[in-house]
Each structure stands twice: as C-alpha cells, then as structure tokens.
Amino acid sequence: MEMVGLLSPRYTVLVPSSLSASFFRPGIGHQTSPAVLPSAFSVTTPGSPLHCRGLLTPLSAIKRESEAVPLEDEDEPKPSEALVYSFNPLPLLLLAALPGAGAVTSVFEPFVELVKSWNLPDWLVHWGHPGNMAVVLFAMGGYGTYLGFRIKYTDDMEEKANAKDLHPKLLGGMFFFFALGATGGITSLLTSDKPIFESPHAITGSIGLSLLTIQTILPSLFEGNPGLRNVHGILGSGIMTLFLIHAALGLQLGLSY
C-alpha cells in the first residue's frame, strides 16, 4: 500500500494514500482534521527511522504529562510490619486423643468392678486419691525440694551430707507414690463412670511423670558432667511448679462432678 507523508515542523504522519485526500480541508493547507483521522497511524521525526506506532484515541482520553500519577516519595515513611507471637496451651489437649484409653480401661475393668463391690463411701472413692497425692506432694516433694536447695547453698558440711542422703530418698519415694497414685486416679474416675486421659489434670500428670523419669536419671551422670547439677536443680524446680498446677487442676476436676 502506498504511504503518503504529511509533514509538519515537528513530526511526519504516514497514512495510506487512499485516505490522504481526507486529511485536507479546502483552503486550509496541510492541516489534519481530527474528525477524519484514521485509527492507525505512524509517527516519525525528521532524519530518524520510524519512532512509534499506535492507535489514535479521543483527546479527552489522553492524560497530560502534568496529570500523571506522581511517584512515591522515597522519604515518605512506609508502614512497618510487626510479627506477634503467642503461645496457646490448648493444643496440649490433643494428647488426650492418643490411643490407649480403651486399652487402659479394659485392663482396669476387673479391679474397678472389685472396688465397686466393696460399697465404699462415695466421698472416699471421690477424694481418696486427691488427699493421698496432696500429702505426697507437699510432705515428700516439698521437703525434698528444700533439701535440694540446702545441698547447693549451705556451707555446713554435716547438714549438706544429711541432705545428700535424704534428698534422693524423699524424691524417689515421691516418684514411686505418684506413679502408684496415677493408677488410683484412673480407678477413681472409672468407678465414677468418668472418662480418663481427657482432662488437663491427666495431661499434666503424664508430663510430670515423664520429667520425673529424666530427673531420676540425671544424678547418675553428675560425675562425668558436673554442669548437670544446675540442670537438675532447675528441672526439679520446674517439676514441682508443674505438680502444683497439676494439683489445682485435680481439685477443679474433683469439684466438676
């Protein structure tokens, strides 16, 4: 197709020759009429190759350079992000869904039926386990913990020697009675026809017995690594705090039925 160039001081518009006649109004010279401009056009500048091609649009749709969206000011403060971390202890309740409750119930069922046949007072079945465990926690656990601190901080060699002798016995006895008392707690729940392993009290008790197992093993490693004495003391304090929470949750459970 033959192209005709329409010259102007600033640019040259190339249009098809078949449409070139429509770009002139009689008596006005080489001026284009916006009403008859084709939609396709090419623009070149004098002495340069083809510069751009495009589609003509109404003048009202063309944004002036001054109306362009301004760039963001680099000095303008940008909003900052804050990461918030939280801890929710409720997922620990998922431990209650672990398999084993049915198996434990079937194992304890003969003994539970035997206890029911004794026709014990309800208050004894209900509060016997909490009462026994409270004595173990505060008498054996509390005094044993006190002796542990005396071993670490006393300068009296005789007192330290007595504490070293009695401390492991008391806390070892606490571990034994807690493990035995767990069976009493399960029996108490089953005789009252209540589910087991489905309360925070049961979960904290399981965690506490697991930590006590680790705590019992640590003293055998003191000779090879004396730094474990500090770990033993910190872990023991944490275990006692956990069992205090365990006791409060047990009281709450006992009052719930």
Condensed to tens digits (0 to 9), the pLDDT of residues 45-71 reads 445 444 444 444 444 444 444 454 555
- The predicted pLDDT at position 22 comes to 46
- In sequence order, which residues have a C-beta less than 8 Å from that of residue 42 and are 6 or more positions away? 13, 14, 50, 52, 53
14 and 112 in a common domain? no
Q: Containing domain of residue 7, as a range?
A: 3-56
- The predicted pLDDT at position 51 comes to 44
Q: Are 44 and 14 in contact (CB under 8 A)?
A: yes
CB count in 10 Å sphere of residue 15: 19
- The predicted pLDDT at position 52 comes to 42
177 and 128 in a common domain? yes
Phi and psi at residue 83, to the nearest 5°: -95, 125
Structural domain count of the chain: 2
Domain assignment present for residue 46? The answer is yes
135 and 41 in a common domain? no
In 37-175, which ranges are E strands? 40-44, 50-55
Domain assignment present for residue 79? The answer is no
Q: Tell me which residue of 93, 124, 126 sits closest to 204, measured CA to CA.
A: 93
245 and 191 in a common domain? yes
Domain assignment present for residue 69? The answer is no
Low-confidence stretches of the chain (pLDDT < 70) are: 1-100
- The predicted pLDDT at position 200 comes to 94
- The predicted pLDDT at position 78 comes to 57
pTM beyond 0.75: the answer is no
- The predicted pLDDT at position 74 comes to 53
- In sequence order, which residues have a C-beta less than 8 Å from that of residue 107 and are 6 or more positions away? none
The per-residue pLDDT of the chain, averaged, comes to 75
State the DSSP code for 119: T
214 and 98 in a common domain? yes
Domain assignment present for residue 87? The answer is no
